[in-house]
Structure 1
Amino acid sequence: AFESARREGEAYFADAAVYIERYLEDPRHVEVQVLADAHGNVIHLGERDCTIQRRHQKLVEETPSPAVDDELRERIGAIAVDAARAVGYQSAGTVEGLLSREGEYFFLEMNTRIQVEHTVTELVTGLDLVREQVLIAAGEPLSLRQEDVRLNGHAIECRINAEDVGNSFLPAPGTITAYHEPAGPGVRIDSGVLAGSEISPLYDPMIAKLVVHGVDREHARRRMLRALDELLVEGVKTLIGFHKALLMHPCFIEGGTCHGLVESELLAARAAELENGRGELLGSDPSRGQTPGLTPAVRTVEVDGRRFEVRVLRPEPPSAELARRRRERKRGGGAGGAGKDAIVSPMQGTVLAVEVAEGDEVEAGQVVCIVEAMKMENEVHAHRAGRVTELSVAPGQPVKTGQVICIVSGD
């Protein structure tokens, strides 16, 4: 952990210095949206709870936080306003912090920009934050006072990323072959893709932001499940199934932090069952009641504010059988031409460190190298015990998904 922190500091800030601070057990990531103009006016627009994360990167955001009451909101809002005023800040910005179980609030950082999750604040306040930011930049005073701010209902945002939940949320670039967005009351989706769009391995793998607004948290949760069921993205692996599994879990329903659950094998398995509407197929046996060329699925619809589950049979595209055969060939091919002794990079990225040398003896599970992808360090481990040969990477070198790093040969 120490060496990892040093590497990140050196890479991003040209400073490898490390300092120690208090450890908080299972805190919440709670941030406060602020607006500040050139006339000395500073207000906050409530908090956002961004606790649901993987590898310290946000996946689900909501407002209000299920752990923040009116008194705490006033207190942390005042902290954010004071911080913005102290530095003479002018624009839309976010003060981020950690909220302990005891209600202590610790400053993390201030993001001096519009954030991905600003959408949930817009839905509960009725404000256009981008418009407010532009007006502030034009020298206009804020359009409202603190006492004018009203938080109406509850909003949840799910980040729809091209990631493989079953493979530690690694980016899953590729071409989107089919795409359909949900609609209906209280549903908003911000995206920039269509069928045929490519998700590049060079940038953040976000496909869309799916946001819903409801009269309360439970209403918003159920509305999000319906919207996730309507959302169709094919051609790349996505987090759709993961979000369904998470929002159905008692931990999320109860407003918990879901610590230890998000990156668990249990949730990954459930997400795989729910991917693209699958998981509740016709009958108890998934193979029963099916017709060749038709895929059974459960869709959730909302009628007059009520949620219903409808079982449907969806025609498979003509290419489905071909795609299945291609996947089977890949599964049977192992690591390609390199064979079972090869260690390959599970992702595209940059090699940060190589922990072995040519000729070294390694044990199964030993770290061979560290690859950085999407600002996160990922350890690549030996899959078996043996001797390292044909080591082909070095620190600073880019690697592609599936590229052979070395061979580990047994005796």
Structure 2
Amino acid sequence: MKKFSNILIANRGEIAVRVIKTAKALGYKTTAIYSEADTAAPHVGLADNAVLIGPAPVQQSYLDMDKVLAAAKRAGADAIHPGYGFLSENAEFAKACAAAGIVFIGPSADAIDLMGNKAAAKRRMIDAGVPCVPGYEGRDQSDEVLLNEGELIGFPLMVKAAAGGGGRGMRLVHARKDLGAALKSARSEALNAFGSEELILEKAILQPRHVEIQVFADAHGNVIHLGERDCSVQRRHQKVVEEAPCPVMTEELRDRMGSAAVEAARSINYLGAGTVEFLLDAAGNFYFLEMNTRLQVEHPVTELVTGLDLVELQLRVANGDPLGLDQSDINLTGHAIEVRLYAEDPSEDFLPCAGDIALWQPATSPGLRIDSGITNGQAISPFYDPMLAKVIAYGSNREEAIAKLIQGLEETVLFGFATNTSFLLDILRRDKFRQGEATTAFIAEEFTEDDLKAPVPSISELAASAVLTYEQERNMAKAMSLDVPEGLLNWSSGGLLQSNYAFSFGGIRTAVTVAPANADHYSVFVDQEKIPVKVLSRGEHNYRVEADGTRLDVAFAAAGPGQMHVAISGKTYLFSDDLKAQASGEAAKSSGTVLAPMHGTLLEVFVAEGDTVQVGDRLAVLEAMKMQHDILAEVEGTLQTVLATKGAQAAADDLLFEIAEQA
């Protein structure tokens, strides 16, 4: 095997930062690539060298193999680490690296090709004796055959994209009458996401655990596993929380699952890091789901419980060296849990969000590891996956890890757009999760629409935030009027100043008055109820206050005139003063005006000018941040304007449709 010394990381965000750190620590030179949208991204500055490879859209940058290889040649890189996503499981890219004399830090192109297709992978696993879910993975993809096979399998069943993952091209079908429509929509999503319409059918294993085994193989015939990860808490088949070890794992079950995973890797002459994923039912039966031929997002939990650096092992194996470990060297100690911090709005059906980071303040509590690739002021582009960071906690046992993770999330601050922080905290606090009983049905069973609504501040939080807003406005006024004596800041000719605000949350508008008593003490009236507030300490972005006898740690950042981002115990609010908005003449947008919720591509447009629509009718499908979003009519009426065009790009807040409401 060729030895290498300069590694190009063909990725972005937190995984690029993660790989660069280990590579540099081992003495390798590192080269980053970046798109025009990532000019200010942390991974660019962290690497020894960086090469611009194109515009923001992934097809013109991170997924353009020729540009990536040209960047490697330009930088003198003799190896490429693909991270995960993008080109990491692209067999053609692995072949192209080999043809260019560049080491691909991953398995062979043949292994990637085989395991990248769920149908082919399942056929191979059946031949290798690995337990598999009953289903259809045949080459005949006609509707007639798939409908007949569905009848034979029985319902409920899963329709899955053979070439994909991450929940895209996947449908749960409960009855035969729904299978035809599921096949059509799954094919469309699979073609757009993966360039292939091939599907497989599988018997739905309801309420299983999703348990994966981390495997490693070197070029000297050594194949081992590093234990398991439980990834059962999922939303739309995408992992949200991952932990190691699995809460219900026994040594006997681990041995059986580990042996099956090792056999799966050995049967395809695997090399490097891989993950064999299984469904585990309540009776202890497990079934092969798929194999990911790359490093996983959730690899940090394995690192924490094994004490191993998985990227270091990848580099060692790719350089032709022995793994240096055998199965008896692997011991799992303690417990680790990871959550994925997303730019998305749970109250809006988890719609991905984009915007500028107003404040990124990761927690620094003991027992935490935070993997991120973001920084203050950075623009979060709509072109990429909305996962921005991972918060991981390690403890001597599961209970301790949960407690540390809750504390870490409460202390972590990310302002500029909606995030899923409150949702993650809600998961960790649920009894079913704390008792280790969560299955893949956990979120669907545990969370209602009301649970996902945006948080509403308590009266104490309202009062504390009003004081914070008042002080920031006062400080701004002081900065603009340098001749005002310090002792007169809270005074007017009529006595102590009072400031009035109107804040709206959950559709309810609350009147708030702030009246200072002295530099640190305030009387705040929330809908006429008096709340005493004392400021205990002040920082650039953090206050500690006592409101109505309750101590609160408050993080904040200005969001614009009359607006303030506020975070308290993991809950994030945007305080916007309605009185200032009214004074500026800002009007609410008409509900008959349909705007693009974010930047994306219009995959389908279902209506034309003159059509009549009802509330909830599908107007179009927008693809953004690797997800498809239905654009729905909010009012009943007639399409007066249709600016949406199939295949066109739409920017956030672009006008798509105007509906003349029915009188």
* 1:191 and 1:209 in contact (8 A); partners too: yes
Alignment of 1:143-154 (within 5 A): 143-154=324-335
CA contact (8 A) 2:215 2:273 kept: yes
Alignment of 1:9-408 (within 5 A): 9-255=190-436, 256-257=438-439, 258-261=442-445, 264-269=448-453, 272-273=455-456, 289=531, 291=533, 311-312=551-552, 314=554, 322-323=562-563, 328=578, 329=581, 333-335=587-589, 339-408=590-659
1:107 is displaced (CA, Å) by 2.1
Native 8 Å contact 2:358 2:557 kept in 1: no
Post-superposition CA distance 1:118-170 (Å, at most 9, x none): 00000000000000000000111112111111111110011112211211111
Deviation by residue 1:54-85 (Cα, 9 ceiling, x = unmatched) = 22222211111123322222221111111110
SS at match of 1:39: coil
> Aligned partners of 1:356, 1:152: CA distance in 2, in Å?
58
Matched position secondary structure for 2:247: coil
1:35–1:90: 8 Å Cα contact kept in structure 2? yes
Amino acid paired to 1:386: G
Amino acid paired to 2:206: E
Asked if 2 retains the 8 angstrom alpha-carbon contact of 1:155 and 1:220, the reply is: yes
Aligned-CA RMSD value: 3.2
Helix, strand or coil at the partner of 1:390: strand
Task: Give the unaligned 5+ runs of structure 2.
Answer: 1-181, 466-525, 565-574
Q: Matched residues in 1 for 2:432 and 2:274: separation? A: 30
TM-score by length of 2: 0.55
Q: 1:274 to 1:66 in 2, by over 3 A?
A: farther
Report the CA distance shift for 1:288/1:110 in structure 2 as closer, same or farther (over 3 A): farther
Instruction: Supply the distance in 2 between the matched residues of 1:332 and 1:99 (Cα, whole angstroms).
Output: 54
Query: Which one-letter code corresponds to 2:450 in the other structure?
Result: L
Q: Any conservation in 1 of the 2:193–2:626 contact (CA below 8 Å)? A: no
Amino acid at match of 1:340: S
Give CA-to-partner distance per residue, 1:305-325, whole Å, 9 cap, x none: xxxxx8235485566762158
What amino acid sits opposite 1:46 in the alignment?
G
1:400 CA displacement: 2.0
Runs of 4+ in 1 over 6 A off after TM superposition: 277-282, 292-299, 318-321
Q: Could you report, residue by residue, the CA deviation over 1:239-267 in whole angstroms, capped at 9, with x for unpaired residues?
A: 22221121111121122232415763233
Secondary structure (helix, strand or coil) at the match of 2:621 reads strand
CA shift at 1:104, angstroms?
A: 2.8
Stretch of structure 1 that moved more, 57-66 or 80-89: 57-66
1:270-319: per-residue Cα shift (whole Å, max 9, x none)?
x62589x969989xx997535499998899xxxxxxxxxx8235485566
The farther-off stretch of 14-23 and 318-327 is 318-327
Deviation for aligned residue 1:205? 2.2
Structure 1 residues 13 and 297: alpha-carbon distance in aligned structure 2, compared to 1, 3 A threshold: same
Q: Match of 1:381, as an amino acid?
A: L
1:122 counterpart letter in structure 2: E
Contact 2:610 2:639 (8 Å CA) reproduced: yes
Tell me if structure 2 keeps the 8 A contact 1:32–1:80: yes
Partner SS state of residue 562, structure 2:
helix
Letter in 1 for 2:449: E
Structure 1 residues 318-327 or 362-371, which shifts more? 318-327
1:40 to 1:380, Cα distance in 2 relative to 1, 3 A: same
Q: Deviations over 1:362-383 (max 9, x none)?
A: 2211111111122222111111
Could you tell me how far apart the structure 1 residues matched to 2:290 and 2:462 are? 40
The aligned amino acid for 2:551 is R
- Looking at structure 2, the residues matched to 279 and 55 of structure 1 have their Cα atoms a distance apart, in angstroms, of 34
Structure 2 Cα separation of the partners of residues 19 and 298 of structure 1: 57
Q: Is the 8 A contact 1:95 1:111 kept in 2?
A: yes
Read off the aligned partner of 2:552 and give its amino acid letter. Answer: V
Instruction: Output the CA distance in 2 between the equivalents of 1:400 and 1:5.
Output: 26
How many angstroms apart in 2 are the aligned matches of 1:34 and 1:178? 38
CA distance in 2, matches of 1:172, 1:203: 11
Structure 1 runs not aligned, ≥5 long: 300-309
Contact 1:273 1:279 in 2 (8 A): no
Tell me which structure has the larger Cα radius of gyration. Answer: 2
Q: Does the Cα contact within 8 Å between 2:591 and 2:635 map onto a contact in 1?
A: no
Taking structure 1 as reference, are residues 317 and 201 closer, same or farther at Cα in structure 2, changes over 3 Å only? closer
SS of equivalent to 1:272: coil
- The alpha-carbon distance between structure 1 residues 13 and 164, as it changes in their structure 2 partners (threshold 3 A), is closer
